Each structure stands twice: as structure tokens, then as C-alpha cells.
Amino acid sequence: MLRLENIKIYTDLTDDEVVKEACKQYKLDSKDVRKYNIYKKSIDARNKENIFYNYTIDIEYVGLKNIKNIKIVNEENFNLIIDKKRKAETRPVIVGAGPAGLFCGLILVQNGIRPIIIEQGKKVEDRKKDVENFLETGILNTTSNVQFGEGGAGTFSDGKLTTNSKNPLCRKILKEFVSFGAPNQIMYTNKPHIGTDNLINIISNMRNYITSQGGTFLFEEKVVDFEIECNKIKSVLTNKNKKIETDTVILAIGHSARDTIEKLYFKGINMEKKSFSVGVRIEHKQEMINNSQYGNKTKLKLPPAEYKLAYHGKDRSCYTFCMCPGGVVIGSSSNNSEIVTNGMSKFARDEENANSALLVDVTPEDFEGDSPLEGIYFQADLERKAFELGGNNYYAPIQRVEDFLNNRKTTRNWKNKTHI
């Protein structure tokens, strides 16, 4: 494949038209393109008077003339081979069916290994009902909610596939998502995004595939203990009094399963304190972000704009994260009497508001006590205080930015659910 880079496109074109334009820019004959693959597409909005798309396209080209100075790349191989020399008598157990657990399960079955995946929450279709019920009634199911259940914590978020990693396996993740029903554009857009509406089907397709290849899912079943002998895992025990013997356990439990993390700590698993970030969701009109990022001159049909802001102070940094264009803020608690919020959007990202997390970093010096679990206690304490401030009913406490800047309270009119 020939890689055509830095293709500047100033109007909205179909993919075929973009390839023709790319060939023109590289002085190639588009009739000689046997197949193509859009590798990258980004928006360059640095000059608001002249916003354009920047494409990288791989083409299979039959006319081999005039290809000087064009990079040649191999077609990507998305297989991940596991060395199976180890002789296993038992099936590996994966605890948790979030992205980590599901992809682990997928790669194992692709290598002929049949894992047992144990998830405390429900199948994604049933979990969706519990989430909707919580958002409508405030009745929380502590094992089936925005954080727990098949698909994990990202399912009811923006479905943005965020990572700072340059690992080539990131492209495998995208490819697998596409094969289970995600829009193909996630393969090449700068900030790929699936949307909660698509994720539900994709996760269910993924489960069906893993099951068809010999994997087993146990839903609504929680791993509550681990039998360890001479530093080796022997079995896991579930809350349904099941003992599953295994010599391999993959803990894909995410960062919110505080009880399981505590259990592992008291079992003697090595842990250490680490820094993390805490903060609030900030919400504003999407139109304001579009104007600020794109101006008002462009005729391009651009997606809802995003932003990222950072401030590096002397002692602490403050930054935005997980910006959710055209989305809503939703309650994402998994524990009783604690508030967690998150941004969620559908694939279209067509809601009126945008939101993002506004965070500060906290370090072990901010926590009292010596236990490696102090960070979790610190987090839980903040979430409990937010619950109380919101009125003890899973409504998040809200403050207008204007009030925050003027150091005054925002008063709330509960009856109309408006803020005055």
C-alpha cells in the first residue's frame, strides 16, 4: 500500500472523491487505485478563516510509475498470538466484563483458550433498564448501574475511545469494535467515538461471539474470595457459593470495585498509594464551544467541537478531561449514598449542551493515614459529602460558574428542578 499523507481537503467530500483529490495532489492516476483505506482524518481549525480536513490515505496502486517519495506500508495484521506452551488443566477465570475483561476474553478465544468470565452486574441489555430506572426514580442497584455490569464503566459514557498510548494494539481494539458493529470511521478519526446507543449492541455482539467460541459468562455473580496457596491461585469463590478451580485469574475489576480491592489487599496482595484526580462536571452550551473552536465563517459540516484546557499551578494542576460534546451529565453512582457524575452522549452528539470533567490532581500527601487504601477512603468521603450537599437523593449539587466566581451559593428550586 502507498501512504498518501497530508491531504488537505477544503470542502465536504465523499471518501471516493477524497481519494481522487489525494491522487491529484500526489500526481497519481486515480483509475489505477485498486483499493483504499482511510487511515487518518483530522480537522485543522487553527486558522478560522480557512478550516480544512487533513487526511492520510493508504492506496493499493497498480501503476507503479511516479511513486518516488511516497511511503510504502504493509496492510495491518490484527492477530495477537498467545504463546500456548504452558500446559493448563483448568480454564482461566476473568473477573469483570468491562472493556479489559471483554477484550481479554476475546483474545483468549481467538487463541483457542476458553475463559470463564464472571461479572457481578447484568447483561448489557438488562443493565440498561436498571440504569434508566435509576435515572428516573433514584433507586440504585449497587451491582447493576452506570459503573457495573457487562461493558463496564465506559458503556454509559460518551463511548469516546480515549488513550494516550501509542501501542499498535490500540488499532486492534478499534478494528474489533468495527467488526462487532461500530461505525468504520472510528478507525481513522482523530478522536474516535462510538456513542452509548451503539455500544449496547456492540457489547452484546462481542459476548455472543466469545460464547460461540467456547467462552462462558456468569452474570449477576460476584467473586467474593480467592483461595491462594503457596503464592499460587487455586480457586475463586462466588457469592452463589460456587468454587471455581483455576490456576489463572485475570482481575479486570476496574477502579470502582472498592470491596474487591479491599478483599485483595487483606489477602496480602501488594498495593501502593498513587496519585489521581478528582473534580466536578462543568456544563455549557455546545454552540459556544463550536463558535470558539471553529468561528462562524466555515461552510464545512464539522462535528460538534471539543476542547481541552490545562492550568499548571505551582502546587497543583487543574485540567479538563473526558469532554463530552453534545451530551448530558448523568448520575453514575455505584454505592448507596454516594454521588458520582459522568458525561454521556449518543453517536450523533446532538444535545444542546456540552460538558467535561474539571479536575485537580491529588497525591498521597492529601490523604490521612498510611494504608494504601487511603485514596479510596478519600474518594468515598468526597462522594458522600456530595450526596449530602445534593439533598440526599442522588441529585448532584449544582453551582453556576458565575456564582462560583463570585463566591456565593447557587440556590435551588427543587419543585421545578431548576436552579435560581
The DSSP bridge partners found for residue 38 are: 57
Stretch that binds ligand FAD, among 49-57, 151-159, 196-204, 402-410 (CB under 6 A): 151-159
**How many residues does the structure list for the chain?**
420
Residues between 324 and 363 with contacts to ligand FAD, criterion CB under 6 A? 332, 340, 342
The minimum distance between CB 28 and ligand FAD, in angstroms, equals: 37
Site map for ligand FAD, 241-280, x if CB under 6 A?
Answer: -----------xxx-xx--x--------------------
Among 92, 152, 279, 375, binds ligand FAD (CB under 6 A): 152
Among 45, 70, 100, 178, binds ligand FAD (CB under 6 A): 100
Contact between 196 and ligand FAD by CB under 6 A: the answer reads no
Q: Which residues contact 406 (CB under 8 A, 6 or more apart)?
A: none
Contact between 322 and ligand FAD by CB under 6 A: the answer reads yes
Q: Would you state the torsion angle of the CA atoms of residues 148, 153, 157, 162, taken in this order, to the nearest 10 degrees?
A: -170
**CA-angle at 318, arms to 312 and 319, nearest 5°:** 105
Q: Which residues contact 154 (CB under 8 A, 6 or more apart)?
A: 98, 99, 199
In order of 127, 137, 185, 367, 398, the CA distances from 341 in angstroms are 18, 16, 28, 22, 11
Contact between 96 and ligand FAD by CB under 6 A: the answer reads yes
Contact between 115 and ligand FAD by CB under 6 A: the answer reads no
Cα dihedral 145, 147, 152, 153 sign: positive
Among 33, 51, 57, 223, binds ligand FAD (CB under 6 A): 223
Contact between 148 and ligand FAD by CB under 6 A: the answer reads yes
User: Between 56 and 345, whose beta carbon lies closer to ligand FAD?
Assistant: 345
User: All 3 cell numbers of residue 345?
Assistant: 452522549
CA distance 210 to 93: 14
HSE, CB side, 13 Å, CA atoms: give it for residue 330.
25
Contact between 394 and ligand FAD by CB under 6 A: the answer reads no
| Closest-approach residue to ligand FAD (CB) | 254
Number of residues that bind ligand FAD (CB under 6 A): 34
Contact present, 210 and 102 (Cβ < 8 Å):
yes
Residue 310 DSSP one-character state: E
Which residues are near ligand FAD by CB under 6 A?
95-101, 118-121, 147-149, 152-154, 157-158, 160-162, 222-223, 252-254, 256-257, 260, 322, 332, 340, 342
